[in-house]
Amino acid sequence: MNVIPFRRPAPQQEPVAFTIGARVDLRVGAVASGVIRPRGETDEVFSFSNLARTLRAARMAWKERGIYAVLSLAVPAEMYARLEADLLHEAAQEAGCTRHLMGFELCEREIVTHGAELAEALRERGWGVVLRGDDKCPLPFGARARSLYTELVLEAPEAASPFLALEDGDRSPLGRRLIAAKAAGLTITAENVRTAAQAKTLAIAGFDRGGGPFAEASLR
- pLDDT, one tens digit per residue, over 163-188 is 676 666 556 788 888 888 988 999 99
Q: Is residue 7 part of a domain?
A: no
User: Within a domain: residue 9?
Assistant: no
The span from the CA of 217 to the CA of 194, in Å, is 10
pLDDT at 10 over 50: no
For residue 111, what are the CA distances in angstroms to 86, 103, 117, 119, 152?
A: 18, 16, 8, 8, 13
Strands 18-25 and 31-38, by their bridges, are antiparallel
The model's pTM: 0.88
What is the separation of C-alpha 4 from the centre of its chain, rounded to a whole number of angstroms? Answer: 51
Question: What is the reported pLDDT for 175?
Answer: 84
What rounded mean pLDDT belongs to the chain?
Answer: 88
Q: Which domain covers residue 164, as residue numbers?
A: 18-217
Strand partners of residue 20: 36
CA atoms of 34 and 26, how far apart (whole Å): 14
- Please check whether residue 193 lies inside any domain of the structure: yes
Q: Can you tell me the distance from the alpha carbon of 126 to that of 98, in angstroms, rounded to the nearest whole number? A: 10
The CATH number of whichever domain residue 164 belongs to comes to 3.20.20.450
Q: What is the mean pLDDT of residues 127-136?
A: 95
Burial of 78 per CB tally in 10 Å (0-12, 13-18, 19+): exposed
DSSP state of 82: G
Q: Give CA separation, 139 vs 12, 48, 114, 158, 189, in Å.
A: 45, 30, 13, 23, 16
The reported pLDDT for the residue numbered 169 is: 55
Which region among 27-36, 64-73, 77-86, 153-162 has the lowest average model confidence (pLDDT)?
A: 153-162
Within a domain: 8: no
Binned at pLDDT 50, 70 and 90, residue 161 comes out as confident
Per-residue pLDDT reduced to its tens digit, 84-124? 999 999 999 999 999 999 999 999 999 999 999 999 999 99
**136-149 average pLDDT score:** 87
Q: How many domains, the chain?
A: 1
24-69 pLDDT, tens digit each: 999 999 999 999 999 888 888 999 999 999 999 999 999 999 999 9
pLDDT at 179: 87
Question: What pLDDT, on a 0 to 100 scale, did the predictor assign at position 66?
Answer: 93
Residue 118 lies in a domain: yes
Residue 44 domain flag: yes
Q: Is 1 a domain residue? A: no
Residue 78 located in a structural domain = yes
Q: How far apart are CA 127 and CA 129, in angstroms?
A: 6
pLDDT value at position 168? 62
Q: For the beta carbon of residue 56, count every other beta carbon within 10 angstroms.
A: 17
Q: Is the pLDDT assigned to residue 8 strictly greater than 50?
A: no
The confidence band for 9, taking pLDDT boundaries of 50, 70 and 90, is very low
